[in-house]
Structure 1
Amino acid sequence: MPITESDLATLKDEIDRRHFGGALKDVTIRFAMLPVGHFGSYAPRVGVEISSALADAPKELRKTVVHELIHAFLARVKDPSTQRRNDPHGAAFAAQVRRIRSAGEDLRGELAYATCSNSSGAALRRAAACFLERSERRSNPSGRFDHGGRWYPDAAELQECCAAVRAPTRNWPFSLMSHCRTIAHVSRLHGVDTVALRRYLASLGSD
């Protein structure tokens, strides 16, 4: 039997009490028609939206609600990762997944969303060097130009964040190249936390 919106609200309240101490009781939740491949979203003025496709998949629904409530919680405590220029699936997100998983919640697969797979100092230094070389035009992102002079990243360069960038046009041929020089992209490329990379660069006087 499909899960109703009333059931969804009850589920959200139960997860909120169990894992967030009731801090998110005023966050709204509803089913919505989301783009293909998107199972949930959170925005402060909208609340949590869950794909209607999950109404018949209770296990995936629960994991998705937990996932979006993590974003809501991090926004509530004003974690730097929730700033638009930063990656919302960095170290802070991963830490919340681990905390909630240790409390007995089945979150298998959720850490796959975390983009900070490598937290070593060496990885952070490599990412910083890459960003500085790209921003100073001493190196370029890996990609190709098409016949119209538009630049696209190759398979090794392409990251999930690239999907949110406007496609190159004849008037704006370097939209993706410019994005591939940003801290947000470079942090994903090297598997380090965006906020940590910004702080490291700031310590060098380079952010």
Structure 2
Amino acid sequence: MNDLKQARNQVLQQIQQACEAANRDVNEVHLLAVSKTHPSDLIEEMYATGQRMFGENYLQEALDKIENLKSLDIEWHFIGHVQRNKTKHLAEKFAWVHGVDRLIIAERLSSQREASQVPLNICLQVNIDAQDTKDGCQPNEVAELVRTISQLPLLKLRGLMVIPAPNNPQAFIDAKQLFETVKIEHQHPEDWDTLSMGMSGDMLDAIAAGSTMVRVGTALFGARDYSQK
């Protein structure tokens, strides 16, 4: 517990220092704890430090944790690739989905979200630096996707998510520029407030460029145990 609290405090301090260096308000940047491959009891311990936002990549693992930890007031984010046959669980169980990169995925999430639930927050995943191995729509597709998806019921389109190649700070700058450019296509521009980018190794560059949500795993929990996947 003390180790997790210390780790979280160190990350929050790094976020604060990055915001000060960029003349930004620290309250503009949210910490998403990436808990994939880590067990429920470790998430519970991190929750006890004050962390409320947790991100998962693997659906079945996430669903098990959501059930195990349903007594806690956790805001669950899905940050993995979204497959068409998995949208029903995502629509029902999560508060945020970051990996939307096609209209059909957004349409399925919207139709499968219960009307009694608050709208599902989503981000468009953009392959900002044209990596062959990365998911995401192309930058030139984003404006049309924003225009169309922002009209769907039961979704709240919040912004963009990017995972650039390592040591590529220019990609964060490009993502911020794209984020500002396509806002005019949004039907509800007041909802367009999230730029999900930056991880343990590059969050300082991401914050400097304008990130509003950093996805941090290793710096909080240590190395991942993939045998638990």
Q: If the length of structure 1 is used for normalisation, what is the TM-score?
A: 0.29
Higher-RCO chain (CA-CA 8 Å, sequence separation at least 6): 2
Larger Rg, first or second structure (1 or 2): 1
Higher strand content, 1 or 2:
2
Q: If the length of structure 2 is used for normalisation, what is the TM-score?
A: 0.27
